[in-house]
């Protein structure tokens, strides 16, 4: 035992003997979202009151607020509880005191770097439904890796009173949209004490700034729901992406201008601004106005802002590249731009592909492109697509001249890897959650024992299925279905069947219904009891997206078709918990977007952390990951003339793969009942995907390509 370990052990022993200190320290631990990506940090809370733990959606903070004091006291009197608590507390302490990757990789005396990261949504944990989908998941994972690596980063966002909606299906398959109302006192937030008046149009909106601790990274969240504000202004932070264009525009002023001013009042002096998606582009406008008022010329100010801003564009889908009326933008920003002399449609023109073309409605993406020197798409293919899409902004037809590059998205390994898988990889290949961007453990996959691996897979699938059955029974009971059906839900699905997962936002380009393209063919696939196959769906559509809502309804109805009933199921309310459980337990992860609209996608990066396998259209991140041995790629070489033909070709290719490759591989067993071929592919998946498609690698790329060079220009 090293001296350091000995010292750690004795500190822990002292804690174990001190229930009062444990109580005190668990309280501060519950306010650091570090627990959302470190299972050791959640363990004492889960143990404290297991039933309440589920009821509070696994929030340590909420649990401590609600736990019966007698229950807590009696737990504290148990040495075994104090031991688990002390382990969590010391792990948390070690996390904050250890030398970070960033420190180890930064020259002493290097120019100070301070990154301000702006995003309109953050997905951190299921107890905080402040996100709609992939953008939020990516932002949450970015912060977790920034904290793990020790980057000097602060984050800015909005705190939504109602978050994103909770989804329930009515009997006819339509969606009931439920907006919960959050009590911010029941969330792990600190009031920073900072209040500001955010100028929007000709008025100001009073804003409160909250802070949430993401390990080493502070996340500042703006809240406009204050008593002195007009009702409409209070509603600006009511819920995600709700409201008409005017409201969205004002909300983006709040995020960009309000967020930038909040940093000033918090005495944060960022040397770099990272705009994660165009929603926050007004932060760069606010910074430019500040520089002009400080005495710089307009051109110098703009150049300074450009040089110190990083912008990530996230989607080629038009709805994700919002345009607003030029006059409305000018009016909304007047109090910011007028005093800086940014007159005559200055900002509107920065948002145009053709400056001066009054017919063109300014676009937030273009504005961000014009105010950021370092711009990236989120996969190699999306980099290509973006260069082509935005070449006009750079005044060229030659895509090679367009200075947009790519940094492929990743997932935060510790957040998405199930604890049983983490234990397995630790034992088998020496996995370490703080291994940094070049985590070498994945190269050791060939040494993994196939039989032990198959046991892990079976255990993960069983765990998932018992969760799915529980959820189906709850759904069934809530709808008042007959007791027979409720009981049946509890018995549906098989523990040993090839389990296929499809969970994502039901945006139409994702083609969630492609699997149902040929109902007879699908029926023969899932109806073959010699080679059992089952499918689990989950997904939400934006409440205002009628096409997406129709997709949800169609899948809902098809699940009740007698041919699919009990073999294809749909879970309500896709969220982080469902995402985590499905991606850990499913054998096969299906992804069928219409190429090239899935800019990256990240859900498919999660199953390989558990030896799950992808079957995907060649789109987004998968283009870079596929290697013929680690999964299956849908699609033929034939180019289609139109969308219908494309759907037809892709569906046929998908069925062929299922019938001739995937299902036989899963069900071809050796004398020990092991699917040798399947295991080989699964281990290839684990060997090739997590090593690169993780946010430690991604954040390290942002650091070297974006943050460090951009920071050399002092703010
Ligand atoms: C991973 C994840 C996403 C992002 O996945 P996509 O591949 O972009 O669909 C979205 N929502 C949840 C809940 C997730 O876990």
Question: Using CA positions, which residue lies closest to atom 14 of ligand 1?
Answer: 579
SS3 104: helix
Flag whether 477 is in a domain: no
**Can you tell me the distance from the alpha carbon of 682 to that of 685, in angstroms, rounded to the nearest whole number?**
5
Do residue 566 and residue 654 come from a single domain?
yes
Dist. CA 332 → ligand 1 center (Å):
33
pLDDT of residue 458: 98
**Can you tell me the distance from the alpha carbon of 248 to that of 397, in angstroms, rounded to the nearest whole number?**
32
Do residue 593 and residue 657 come from a single domain?
yes
- Residue 410 CB–ligand 1 contact under 6 Å: no
- Residue 136 CB–ligand 1 contact under 6 Å: no
Flag whether 55 is in a domain: yes
Flag whether 414 is in a domain: no
Flag whether 432 is in a domain: no
Do residue 249 and residue 335 come from a single domain?
yes
Q: Where are the beta strands (DSSP E) in 261-301?
A: 272-276
Dist. CA 16 → ligand 1 center (Å):
40
Flag whether 185 is in a domain: yes
pLDDT of residue 161: 96
pLDDT of residue 4: 61
Do residue 181 and residue 327 come from a single domain?
yes
Do residue 519 and residue 630 come from a single domain?
yes
**Residues ≥6 apart with Cβ < 8 Å to 157:** 118, 119, 120, 121, 122, 130, 139, 219, 220, 221, 222, 255, 259
SS3 498: strand
Mutate to test the pocket of ligand 1, among 411, 503, 576 (most ligand atoms within 8 A of CB): 503
- Residue 140 CB–ligand 1 contact under 6 Å: no
Do the Cβ atoms of 217 and 241 come closer than 8 Å?
no
Out of 64, 98, 132, pick the residue that ends a domain: 98
Alpha-carbon distances, residue 370 vs 199, 302, 336, 400, 702 (angstroms): 23, 9, 18, 18, 19
Out of 71, 98, 125, pick the residue that ends a domain: 98
**Can you tell me the distance from the alpha carbon of 213 to that of 147, in angstroms, rounded to the nearest whole number?**
10
- Residue 125 CB–ligand 1 contact under 6 Å: no
Do residue 619 and residue 705 come from a single domain?
no
Do residue 246 and residue 338 come from a single domain?
yes
Number of domains the chain is built from: 3
Flag whether 422 is in a domain: no
Mean pLDDT per 10-residue run, the chain (715 residues)?
A: 67 92 98 98 98 97 98 97 98 97 93 96 97 96 98 98 94 93 95 98 97 98 97 96 93 98 97 97 98 97 97 92 96 97 94 96 98 98 97 96 98 97 97 92 96 98 97 92 87 95 94 97 97 97 92 95 96 97 98 95 98 97 97 86 94 98 98 98 98 98 96 68
Q: Which CATH number does the domain housing residue 505 bear?
A: 3.40.50.2000
Do residue 340 and residue 393 come from a single domain?
yes
Flag whether 648 is in a domain: yes
- State the pTM of this model: 0.97
pLDDT of residue 120: 98
Mutate to test the pocket of ligand 1, among 603, 607, 610, 619 (most ligand atoms within 8 A of CB): 603
pLDDT of residue 713: 66
- Residue 504 CB–ligand 1 contact under 6 Å: yes
CB atoms within 10 A of CB 201: 16
How many helices (H) and strands (E) would you count in the chain?
31, 17
Do residue 180 and residue 266 come from a single domain?
yes
Burial category of 420 from C-beta neighbours within 10 Å (exposed 0-12, middle 13-18, buried 19 and up): middle
Residue with tokens 């529980």: 470
Dist. CA 547 → ligand 1 center (Å):
19
Do the Cβ atoms of 517 and 648 come closer than 8 Å?
yes
Do residue 119 and residue 66 come from a single domain?
no
Out of 73, 98, 123, pick the residue that ends a domain: 98
Do residue 87 and residue 188 come from a single domain?
no
Dist. CA 574 → ligand 1 center (Å):
9
Do residue 93 and residue 146 come from a single domain?
no
Range of the domain at 549: 493-681
- Closest atom of ligand 1 to 138 CA is 4
Flag whether 445 is in a domain: no
pLDDT of residue 11: 84
């Amino acid at each position: 035992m090293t001296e350091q370990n000995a010292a750690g052990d004795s500190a822990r022993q002292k804690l174990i003997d001190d229930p009062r200190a444990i109580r005190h320290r668990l309280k501060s631990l519950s306010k650091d979202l570090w627990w959302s990506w470190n299972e050791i940090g959640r363990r004492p809370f889960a143990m404290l009151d297991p039933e309440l733990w589920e009821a509070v959606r696994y929030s340590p903070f909420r649990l401590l607020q609600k736990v019966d004091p007698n229950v807590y006291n009696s737990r504290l009197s148990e040495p075994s509880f104090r031991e688990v608590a002390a382990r969590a507390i010391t792990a948390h302490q070690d996390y904050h005191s250890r030398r970070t990757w960033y420190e180890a990789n930064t020259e002493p005396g290097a120019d100070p770097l301070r990154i301000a990261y702006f995003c309109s949504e953050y997905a951190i944990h299921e107890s905080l439904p402040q996100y709609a989908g992939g953008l939020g998941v990516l932002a949450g994972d970015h912060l977790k890796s920034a904290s793990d690596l020790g980057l000097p980063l602060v984050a800015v966002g909005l705190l939504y009173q109602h978050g994103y909606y909770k989804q329930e299906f009515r009997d006819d398959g339509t969606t009931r949209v439920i907006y919960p109302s959050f009590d911010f006192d029941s969330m792990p937030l600190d009031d920073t004490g900072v209040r500001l008046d955010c100028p929007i149009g000709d008025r100001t909106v009073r804003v409160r700034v909250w802070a949430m601790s993401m390990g080493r990274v502070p996340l500042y969240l703006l809240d406009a729901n204050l008593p002195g504000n007009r009702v409409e202004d209070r509603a600006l932070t009511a819920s995600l992406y709700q409201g008409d264009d005017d409201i969205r525009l004002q909300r983006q002023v709040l995020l960009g201008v309000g967020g930038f001013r909040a940093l000033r009042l918090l005495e944060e002096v960022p040397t770099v601004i990272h705009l994660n998606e165009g929603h926050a582009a007004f932060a760069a406008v606010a910074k430019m106005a500040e520089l002009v008022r400080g005495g710089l010329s307009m051109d110098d100010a703009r150049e300074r802002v450009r040089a110190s801003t990083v912008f990530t564009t996230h989607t080629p889908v038009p709805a994700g590249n919002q345009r607003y009326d030029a006059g409305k933008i000018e009016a909304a920003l007047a109090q910011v731009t007028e005093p800086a002399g940014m007159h005559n449609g200055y900002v509107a023109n920065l948002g145009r592909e053709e400056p001066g073309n009054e017919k063109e409605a300014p676009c937030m993406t273009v504005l961000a492109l014009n105010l950021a020197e370092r711009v990236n798409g989120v996969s190699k293919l999306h980099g290509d697509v973006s260069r082509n899409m935005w070449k006009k902004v750079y005044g060229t037809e030659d895509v090679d001249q367009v200075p947009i590059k790519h940094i492929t998205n990743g997932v935060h390994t510790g957040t998405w890897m199930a604890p049983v898988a983490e234990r397995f990889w630790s034992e088998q290949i020496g996995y370490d959650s703080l291994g940094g961007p070049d985590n070498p453990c994945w190269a050791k996959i060939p040494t993994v024992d196939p039989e032990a691996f198959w046991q892990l897979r079976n255990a993960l699938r069983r765990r998932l299925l018992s969760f799915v059955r529980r959820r189906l029974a709850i759904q069934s009971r809530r709808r008042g279905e007959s007791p027979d059906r409720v009981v049946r839900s509890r018995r549906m699905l098989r523990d040993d069947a090839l389990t296929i997962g499809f969970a994502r936002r039901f945006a139409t380009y994702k083609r969630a219904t492609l699997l149902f393209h040929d109902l007879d063919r699908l029926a023969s696939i899932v109806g073959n009891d010699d080679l059992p196959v089952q499918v689990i769906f989950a997904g939400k559509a934006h409440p205002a997206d009628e096409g997406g809502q129709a997709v949800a309804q169609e899948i809902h109805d098809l699940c009740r078709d007698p041919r699919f009933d009990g073999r294809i199921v749909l879970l309500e309310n896709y969220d982080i918990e469902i995402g985590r459980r499905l991606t850990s337990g499913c054998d096969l992860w299906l992804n069928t977007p219409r190429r090239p609209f899935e800019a990256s996608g990240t859900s498919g990066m999660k199953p390989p952390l558990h030896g799950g396998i992808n079957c995907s259209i060649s789109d987004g991140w998968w283009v870079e990951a596929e290697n013929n041995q680690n999964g299956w790629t849908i699609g033929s070489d034939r180019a289609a003339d139109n969308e219908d033909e494309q759907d037809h070709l892709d569906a046929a290719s998908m069925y062929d793969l299922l019938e001739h490759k995937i299902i036989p591989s899963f069900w071809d067993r050796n004398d020990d009942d092991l699917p040798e071929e399947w295991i080989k592919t699964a281990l290839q998946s684990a060997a090739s995907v997590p090593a690169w498609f993780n946010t430690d690698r991604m954040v390290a790329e942002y650091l070297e390509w974006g943050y460090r060079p951009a920071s050399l220009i002092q703010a």
